[in-house]
């Protein structure tokens, strides 16, 4: 029987590792929260499985554990933030804060980010914006993992696109998706577990379709919807990379492979204050009506329920908060090894 971890204790454990590695307690808690929240939502590819690589990059000097995130320029509703190579979740949280403040002040705000690192799931920030009755759009680029349509080698990332919209009594709309058929992190998890992947997810380094996760990691993840996904990924790279001054295309460095340079990931946060359009309560009533009417649509055979984006993840969060989080043996080993180094015991995070 697999061991289950209490999410709050696991978060405290992971935060303790980052704190011991050089992050301030506050920033360590931000990074740990972003990872554990991903596990709670069932997005294990972006959960505590990333602790090991984050810590390794910090120890190797590839990530700045104690730098100041700085506003490089600000003009009206637009802000450019230099992350100065801090952990991505710390930078993303600052960008979120500035975007929310700007939206409340003037109705909308755009915050561009350069000098960042992998910042976890976009949903982590969307849910915080939703709590503030704000619509949030987040784009981010990533290192090369996906070919342009017609190509066989990676050039652009599986650049995520996300939108969060509050509702009233219904669950909020939380769309957080990669522009590939599947997030590359899921292939990483499959490779660690020794599992095959479905055909159509990726090609090997020669351009041939593959179901072998290891071959896929040496090759390329495929764009969703063919050329459409490629085009969307490209525009995300333009807005979050070219426009902000961050890396783009081949200049976004792979955190697993490049140990000579920082990642220089770019993000774009767009916040919209609902009150600038109509009273929040009225908007939420309209959202609830919209969601209920969608869910009441006639269902295809064998379909029990029509779901909205983010609904499965929120249900998974509730379930895992109650029953605990299971971790692959390889991830447990990594966390235990770091714990031994910093005088902590992973077993303290087990459910009682």
- Going 64 to 68 to 72 to 77, the CA torsion angle's sign is positive
Q: pLDDT per residue over 138-152, tens digit each?
A: 999 999 999 999 999
pLDDT at 147: 94
The secondary element (H helix, E strand) that includes residue 161 is strand 161-165
How far apart, in whole angstroms, are the C-alpha atoms of residue 233 and residue 187? 19
Say which CATH number the domain at 249 has.
3.30.1370.60
Same domain, 54 and 73: no
pLDDT at 67: 81
Q: Mean of the pLDDT values across residues 4-10? A: 98
Q: Are 72 and 172 contained in the same domain?
A: yes
CATH of the domain at 44: 1.10.1530.10
Q: Looking at the structure, tell me whether residues 8 and 98 fall in a common domain.
A: no
pLDDT in tens, 178-225: 999 987 778 988 998 899 999 999 999 999 999 999 999 999 999 999
The Cβ of residue 328 has, within 10 Å, a number of other Cβ atoms equal to 14
* % of the chain surpassing 90 pLDDT: 94
CB distance 246 to 266 below 8 Å: yes
Q: Does residue 19 sit in the same domain as residue 158?
A: no
How would you list the strands of the sheet with 108-116, edge to edge?
70-75, 78-82, 108-116, 265-273, 134-140, 161-165, 173-177
| Structure confidence by residue, pLDDT tens digits, 11-53 | 999 999 999 999 999 999 999 999 999 999 999 989 999 999 9
Residues 6+ apart with CB under 8 A from 243: 112, 266, 268
Specify the pLDDT at position 1: 53
- The pLDDT assigned to 44 comes to 93
Mean pLDDT of 65-88: 95
Across 167-176, 179-188, 336-345, least confident range: 179-188
The reported pLDDT for the residue numbered 198 is 96
Domain annotation covers residue 315: no
Q: Radius of gyration (Cα) for the chain, nearest Å?
A: 20
Has residue 2 got a pLDDT over 80?
Answer: no
Q: Are 116 and 31 in contact (CB under 8 A)?
A: no
Percent share of the chain, pLDDT over 70: 100
Indicate if 234 and 260 belong to the same structural domain: yes
For residues 85 and 151, membership in a common domain is answered with yes
My answer on whether 47 and 71 are in the same domain is no
Domain-embedded: residue 313? no
Domain assignment of residue 292, given as a range: 66-180+223-296
| 186-215 CB burial, b ≥16 within 10 A, e <16 | bbbbbbeeeeebeeebbbbeeeeebebbeb
Same domain, 3 and 137: no
Answer yes or no: do 93 and 171 share one domain.
Answer: yes
Is 41 found in the same domain as 175? Answer: no
Same domain, 82 and 162: yes
Label residue 313 exposed, middle or buried (CB < 10 Å: 0-12, 13-18, 19+): buried
Question: Could you tell me if residue 188 is inside a domain?
Answer: no
- Mean residue pLDDT of the chain comes to 96
Per-residue pLDDT, 217? 92
Res. 245 pLDDT band, cuts 50 70 90: very high
- On whether residue 305 sits in a domain, the answer given is no
Task: Characterise 280 by phi-psi region: left (phi > 0), alpha (psi -120 to 50), beta (else).
Answer: alpha
Count of domains observed in the chain: 2
The tokens describing 258, both together, are: 């490049």
């Amino acid at each position: 029987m697999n061991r289950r971890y209490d999410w709050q204790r696991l978060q405290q454990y992971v935060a303790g590792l980052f704190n011991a590695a050089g992050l301030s307690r506050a920033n360590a808690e931000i990074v740990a929260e972003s990872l554990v929240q991903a596990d709670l939502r069932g997005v294990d590819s972006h959960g505590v499985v990333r602790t090991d690589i984050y810590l390794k990059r910090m120890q190797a000097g590839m990530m700045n554990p104690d730098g100041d995130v700085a506003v490089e320029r600000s003009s009206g509703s637009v802000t450019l933030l230099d992350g100065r190579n801090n952990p991505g979740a710390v930078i993303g949280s600052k960008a979120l804060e500035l975007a929310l403040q700007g939206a409340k002040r003037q109705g909308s705000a755009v915050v561009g980010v350069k000098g960042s690192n992998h910042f976890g799931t976009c949903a982590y920030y969307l849910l915080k914006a939703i709590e503030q009755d704000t619509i949030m759009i987040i784009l981010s680029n990533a290192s090369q993992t996906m070919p342009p349509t017609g190509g066989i080698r990676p050039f652009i990332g599986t650049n995520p696109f996300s939108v969060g919209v509050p509702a009233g009594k219904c669950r909020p709309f939380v769309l957080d998706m990669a522009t590939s058929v599947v997030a590359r992190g899921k292939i990483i998890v499959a490779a660690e577990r020794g599992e095959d992947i479905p055909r159509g997810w990726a090609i090997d380094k020669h351009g041939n379709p593959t179901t072998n996760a290891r071959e896929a990691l040496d090759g390329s993840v495929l764009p969703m919807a063919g050329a459409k996904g490629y085009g969307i990924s490209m525009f995300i790279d333009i807005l979050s990379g070219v426009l902000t001054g961050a890396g783009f295309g081949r200049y976004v460095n792979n955190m697993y492979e490049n140990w000579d340079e920082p990642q220089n990931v770019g993000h774009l946060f767009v916040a919209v204050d609902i009150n600038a359009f109509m009273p929040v309560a009225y908007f939420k009533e309209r959202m609830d009506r919209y969601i209920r009417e969608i869910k009441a649509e006639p269902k295809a055979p064998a379909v029990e329920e029509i779901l909205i984006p983010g609904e499965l993840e929120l249900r998974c969060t509730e379930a895992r908060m109650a029953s605990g989080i299971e971790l692959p043996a390889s991830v447990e080993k990594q966390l235990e090894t770091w714990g031994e180094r910093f005088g902590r015991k992973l077993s303290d995070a087990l459910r009682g």
